[in-house]
Amino acid sequence: MSDPSPILRISALTKTFDDFTALHGIDLDVAEGEFLAIVGPSGSGKTTLIRLLVGMDDPTEGAIWLRDQRIDVIPANKRPTCMVFQSLALFPHRTVGQNIEFPLKLRGVAAKARKERALELLDLLRLPRDYYSKRIQQCSGGEKQRVALARALAFDPEILFFDEPLSALDYRLRKTLEKELKDLHRRTGKTFIYITHSLEEAMVMSDRIAIMRAGRFEQIAPAEEIYARPVSPFVAEFMGEVNFLSLAGGAVAGAELSPAAQAALAGQSGTLVIRPESLRLAPEAAGLILTGTVAAEYLLGSRVQYRIDSPAGELTVEVLREDAVAGVGAPVSLGCDISAVHVIAEAEDAAA
């Protein structure tokens, strides 16, 4: 990162459990006010990482810095950070108000000031003020989510961590809360670090996405960059549907190249990454030219997706509905602009 003074700096963080290494000496800088999403499949180490960051586990090696303070040596209850748990961890034996006030009570804030702050937070989270005396069990899923956020914000932590807090909710509510969370981030200006296995969630909300795999960061970049220029087939695949073609010495097996494409790919070897929407079904194909037959057709609302058998392997193509072509069994030719093709060079590929 170019930011001279990150709010959070992780350096050479390693965590081993018996003979299993969950984190392999990872580094990360997070800028003040950033919304960073850490995405990875289960077992990639993201939960281990967040547990180290909040202090529920101790790192085996490495350090965590919050501005100038080394925090990995500080117990969890003394760290100026707060986490929203996957289960939300709202206290069932306390009211909404008491839940929100809990961190303030621990810090010896007077009852009157506590209540004022709790009501302020209810306003911020757009919950009616009379929820103050409601019981947790009387709240809906989305309301509980907001109470958990209010509680996490109550003592004004430096960084808010989120451990997949939306994963248990239904699709529509999740979509609403994603937008609310992003909006909350904007309004509070706090640093949010959000763990999820859902890339969609990460793309909607975050400024940057860190993709984790097997205890390492595979790529850390804004969503568009990860989408357009993945560093490895793993990242490319993780970011949605993708076509891989093998590139050897500037030639693509099963495909013809236009002169411009030949020039662009000359001498390169590795993997070609092409998004389904970058492929066009057109008779006068240009750039990268492929042929094949339609094996299957799926309607995706405003778009149509085709599976196409071609000499280069099975291809996935997505076009707008008005550009739909003949159905299953029809021969087609496909083209792809060379600018929409991303090359993962062999060396990088091997490292991943």
Partner 1 sequence: MKTSRLASALLLAYGIAILAFLYLPLVSVGLASVSKARYLSFPIRRYNTDWYGEALASDTVRDLLWISLKVAGIVTASSMVIGFLGALAFARYSWRFRKPFQKLILLPIFFPQTVLGLALLMWFNALGIVPSWKTAIVAHLVWIAPIATLIVSIRAFSFDPALEEAARDMGATQWQVLREVTIPLLMPGVVSAGLFAFLLSWGNFPLSLFTTGADSTLPEWLFAKMISGYSPLVPTVGVLTVAGSAILVAAGLILAWALKRLRPTT
Q: Tokens representing 337?
A: 């602009």
56 in contact with partner 1 (CB under 8 A): yes
Task: Kindly tell me which of 93 and 187 has the beta carbon lying closer to partner 1.
Answer: 93
The DSSP secondary-structure symbol of 321 reads: G
93 in contact with partner 1 (CB under 8 A): yes
Which residues, in sequence order, are CB contacts of 22 under 8 Å at separation 6+?
Answer: 15, 16, 45, 48, 215
According to CB under 8 A, which one of 7, 26, 82, 149 is a site residue for partner 1? 82
What is the helix (H) or strand (E) element at residue 172, kind and residue range? Answer: helix 171-188
Q: Helix or strand or coil: residue 19?
A: coil
Of the candidates 205, 151, 227, the residue with the CA atom closest to the CA atom of residue 34: 205
Region of 78-86, 224-232, 235-243, 306-314 interacting with partner 1 (CB under 8 A): 78-86
67 in contact with partner 1 (CB under 8 A): no
Q: Helix or strand or coil: residue 243?
A: strand
Alpha-carbon distance values, 151 to 70, 96, 197, 339 (Å): 25, 9, 24, 48
Return d(Cα 286, Cα 292) in angstroms, integer. 15
18 in contact with partner 1 (CB under 8 A): no
For the bound state, the minimum distance from the C-beta of residue 54 to partner 1, rounded and expressed in Å, comes to: 6
For the bound state, the minimum distance from the C-beta of residue 135 to partner 1, rounded and expressed in Å, comes to: 5
Task: Kindly tell me which of 132 and 244 has the beta carbon lying closer to partner 1.
Answer: 132
For the bound state, the minimum distance from the C-beta of residue 49 to partner 1, rounded and expressed in Å, comes to: 15
For the bound state, the minimum distance from the C-beta of residue 154 to partner 1, rounded and expressed in Å, comes to: 8
Region of 61-69, 73-81, 190-198, 338-346 interacting with partner 1 (CB under 8 A): 73-81
83 in contact with partner 1 (CB under 8 A): yes
Q: Tokens representing 77?
A: 């209850």
């969370």: which residue's tokens? 181
Strands 216-221 and 208-213: antiparallel
Region of 27-35, 102-110, 188-196, 267-275 interacting with partner 1 (CB under 8 A): 102-110
Return d(Cα 53, Cα 161) in angstroms, integer. 9
According to CB under 8 A, which one of 4, 92, 259, 267 is a site residue for partner 1? 92
87 in contact with partner 1 (CB under 8 A): yes
For the bound state, the minimum distance from the C-beta of residue 197 to partner 1, rounded and expressed in Å, comes to: 18
């350096």: which residue's tokens? 11
106 in contact with partner 1 (CB under 8 A): yes
Region of 2-10, 34-42, 74-82, 318-326 interacting with partner 1 (CB under 8 A): 74-82
Region of 84-92, 198-206, 220-228, 299-307 interacting with partner 1 (CB under 8 A): 84-92
Q: Tokens representing 297?
A: 């057709």
107 in contact with partner 1 (CB under 8 A): yes
Per-residue burial over 20-57, b = 16 or more CB atoms within 10 Å of its CB, e = otherwise: eebbebbebbbbeebbbbbbbeeebbbbbbbbbbbbeb
**Could you tell me the strand order of the sheet in which 35-39 lies?**
81-84, 159-163, 191-196, 35-39, 208-213, 216-221
Site for partner 1 in 112-171 (CB under 8 A): 133, 135, 151, 155
Task: Kindly tell me which of 92 and 283 has the beta carbon lying closer to partner 1.
Answer: 92
For the bound state, the minimum distance from the C-beta of residue 71 to partner 1, rounded and expressed in Å, comes to: 13
Q: Using CA atoms of 141, 147, 149, 151 in order, give the dihedral in degrees to the nearest 10.
A: -150
Region of 41-49, 86-94, 223-231, 318-326 interacting with partner 1 (CB under 8 A): 86-94
According to CB under 8 A, which one of 16, 60, 86, 198 is a site residue for partner 1? 86
Return d(Cα 236, Cα 229) in angstroms, integer. 8
78 in contact with partner 1 (CB under 8 A): yes
Binding interface with partner 1 (CB under 8 A): 54-56, 76-79, 81-83, 85-87, 89, 91-95, 98, 102-103, 106-107, 133, 135, 151, 155
